[in-house]
Chains A and B, each alone.
Chain A
C-alpha cells in the first residue's frame, strides 16, 4: 500500500522569504503526485500535479514542485511567499494503475508572518 509522509506539521516563515514544504512517499508501483492547498474554512484546491514527463512542475500562485524518484520525494517550493499563502498544504499520491483513490499526508501548516 502507498503512504505519504509530511514531516513538518508547521512551517513559520517571514513574508518574501523562500519556503520548501517536504513530502516523501512510499509505493511499490508508480504513482501520480499532487499538492493541494486548504485555506481557512475552505475545501481543498489543487495546486499542482505530477503525472509524467518533466520532473519540475509549476502550479498556481507561483508554487512549484520537483519529483525525485530516487529519493521518493515531491517537495513544494515557492521563492517568495506572501501573507495570503498562509494555509494548510497536503501532499497526496494516487496509483497509476487505476482507481481514483488519493492517499493524503497529514498536512503542513504554512504560517507567513510580517
Chain B
C-alpha cells in the first residue's frame, strides 16, 4: 500500500529537549516536505527536499532542521523545542511531475511544555 508514515503520532516533551520526528514514504517520490498546521493559519511549509541531499527552507523554518540522506526518509529535527512549536505536523511527498499532488502522512501532534 502506497503511504507516508510518521512517528511518533503523539509527543509531549519539555522545552529544550531535542527530538526527531521521522517520515518515510514507499512511493519512490523525489519531493518531500514538512508542514505545520495551526488553528486559523492553515498549513505552512517548514522545509522541503527536491531529492537526496537537496533541502531548502519553506515559509517557517526557524527552529527546525531536516536531512535527506535516503530517498524514502525525511526526518524533522527540533534541536531545542520551545512552546511556540506546539503544533500538528505533517509530512508529504510527491513526484516532481505530479502537478503538485502531494500525499500526506497521518500527522504528529507535538506538545512542548
What residues of chain A have their CB less than 8 Å away from a CB belonging to chain B?
A: 4, 6, 9, 32, 34, 36, 41-46, 49, 51, 90, 92, 94, 100-102, 104-107
Contact = CB atoms under 8 A, between A and B. Distances in A.
Contacts of B58: 101
Which of B42, B90, B105 has the most A CB atoms < 10 Å from its CB?
B42
B82 interface: no
9 contacts: A9-B40, A94-B100, A100-B33, A100-B94, A101-B45, A101-B48, A104-B44, A106-B40, A107-B42
Interface string B36-55: 00001111110010100000
Given A43-B4, A44-B90, A102 B104 contact: no
Contacts, number: 60
B79 interface: no
A32 B100 CA distance: 8
B102 A43 contact: no
Interface of B: 4, 31, 33, 35, 40-45, 48, 50, 58, 90, 92, 94, 96, 98-102, 104-107
A102 B42 contact: no
Contacts of A100: 31, 33, 48, 50, 94, 96, 98, 100, 102
Given A45-B104, A92-B100, A100-B50, 17 more contacts: A32-B99, A34-B100, A36-B104, A43-B105, A43-B107, A44-B43, A44-B92, A46-B101, A90-B43, A94-B99, A100-B33, A102-B45, A102-B100, A104-B42, A104-B43, A106-B40, A106-B42
Nearest to B9: A41
A43 B101 CA distance: 14
Contacts of B107: 41-43
A91 B31 CA distance: 20
A101 B50 CA distance: 10
Contacts of A43: 4, 90, 104-107
